[in-house]
Amino acid sequence: MENKGNRNLFERGVYVYDPLDYPLDWLIQRGVRVTMGAPLASTGKARVKIAESELISKASGHVALLGASGAYITRGVMESLSDLRFILKLGIGTEVIDMASASEFGIMVANTPVELEVDVVAEHCIALMLGLLKRLDFYNVAWLRGGGWKDPEHMSGTLFGRTIGVVGFGHIGRAVAKRLASWGVRILVHDLKAFDPPLGVEVVDLDQLLAESDLVTLHVPGVAAGEPPLLDEQRLSMMKKGALLVNTARGNLVDTETLKVMLKSGQLAGAAFDVFNPEPPRPDDELLSCANVIATPHMAAWNKDLRAAMAMLAFENLFTMFEGGVPKNLVNPESLKGQRYGR
């Protein structure tokens, strides 16, 4: 169905369900009607995911949705929003979107794989590694305010000489390994896809990686709804006693109940998380009270330049769709044959 020049799409516009932290001028100047279902800028407070019924009610009549992970865009949402034709996802992951249904209905989904995100997230991952090794979970302002000083039970460690296990060797996993290459570490990598490993990287199966690594870092997509965590009780038990775990990927990759037990018992020496399940975590979540945990609020990619680049890419993708074109970041090309619009 050709929609080039169809101003009706511009007028029916886009419903934005997450803060953009970037002005809307570019879209508005081009005649796009924008409805904000969230504050334009983040507030510093966690936002619970929008209920399906609320999303359906407020986004009704719009032809596009734009946001990050502030709502689950389910089959039910797509069935109820009969005008929906485009979904713009800030960031790379699309696990909050029922991709099979989107493709079936002919709803194009475009993400924003900005190159800067790789560097920003890789740096955050390294920071969390160093934070655990240097015991920044223990030595902090609160410790000093209480009169604390150097404690013989909490000496710092070093990356040098350690074995680091990188689970997932996509862009971010590769960027982490590249940064570690000159630190005097042994790097083990596991990925489901075959690849030619760079010099200094050993490709192993997941069980060997868990058994031999002093620190494990996760860089794979989240598991599908209803599927068990990648690091379930059995897999977590394979990790070396005293090992560390870093997760900047997705919260549902780890069985957190088992992890809490292992952290409290000392089986694992520490963990650092930028992602949680559910997200945001409850303030009373035991994981946040573990003494050997460092946690950040899913902000590995919280960078001003990156946010601006992702917003602009989403705007450009949306405008291309409104003009009847195919965006360069289309995630589901099979949607072009979807049934809803007779493409």
187 in Cβ contact with 201 (< 8 Å): yes
| 61 conformational bin, left if phi > 0, alpha if psi -120 to 50, beta if neither | left
Cα torsion 133, 138, 143, 148: sign: negative
Q: Cα separations (Å) of 296 from 95, 132, 145, 247, 299?
A: 21, 13, 22, 10, 7
Domains and CATH numbers, the chain: 7-114+304-337 (3.40.50.720), 138-291 (3.40.50.720)
Comparison of pLDDT for 1 and 24, the residue scoring more? 24
Q: Give the pLDDT mean for 10-16.
A: 88
At residue 164, the 3 state secondary structure works out as strand
The DSSP code sequence of 31-71 is T--EEESS-SS--SS--PPBPHHHHHHHHTT-SEEEESSSB
| Predicted pLDDT of residue 339 | 58
170 in Cβ contact with 121 (< 8 Å): no
Cβ burial, residue 323 (10 Å; 0-12/13-18/19+): middle
Q: In the structure, what pLDDT confidence band is assigned to residue 29 with cuts at 50, 70 and 90?
A: very high
Q: Cα separations (Å) of 162 from 157, 189, 212, 221?
A: 10, 14, 10, 26
Closest CA to 123 of 248, 216, 305, 255: 248
Q: Which residues are catalytic?
A: 250, 279, 298
| Predicted pLDDT of residue 10 | 75
| Predicted pLDDT of residue 88 | 97
Count of Cβ atoms closer than 10 Å to residue 257 Cβ: 11
Residue 266 has pLDDT above 60, yes or no: yes
How far is the C-alpha of 202 from the C-alpha of 223, rounded, in Å? Answer: 25
Count of Cβ atoms closer than 10 Å to residue 114 Cβ: 24
88 in Cβ contact with 318 (< 8 Å): yes
| Predicted pLDDT of residue 342 | 43
Q: Give the pLDDT mean for 261-273.
A: 96
How far is the C-alpha of 315 from the C-alpha of 327, rounded, in Å? Answer: 11
Half-sphere exposure of 3 (CA within 13 A, CB side): 20
Tokens matching residue 134: 């240097």
What's the Rg (C-alpha) of the chain?
Answer: 22
| 44 conformational bin, left if phi > 0, alpha if psi -120 to 50, beta if neither | left
- CA 160 to chain centroid, in Å, comes to 28
Tens-digit pLDDT profile for residues 139-183:
999 999 999 999 999 999 999 999 999 999 999 999 999 999 999
| Predicted pLDDT of residue 343 | 40
| Predicted pLDDT of residue 279 | 86
| Predicted pLDDT of residue 5 | 46
| Predicted pLDDT of residue 8 | 74
Q: Give the pLDDT mean for 67-85.
A: 95
How far is the C-alpha of 194 from the C-alpha of 38, rounded, in Å? Answer: 41
How far is the C-alpha of 159 from the C-alpha of 183, rounded, in Å? Answer: 7
Percentage of residues of the chain with pLDDT beyond 90 = 83
Q: In the structure, what pLDDT confidence band is assigned to residue 313 with cuts at 50, 70 and 90?
A: very high
| Predicted pLDDT of residue 73 | 97
Bridge partner residues of 15 (DSSP): 35, 65
Average pLDDT for the chain: 93
How far is the C-alpha of 210 from the C-alpha of 241, rounded, in Å? Answer: 11
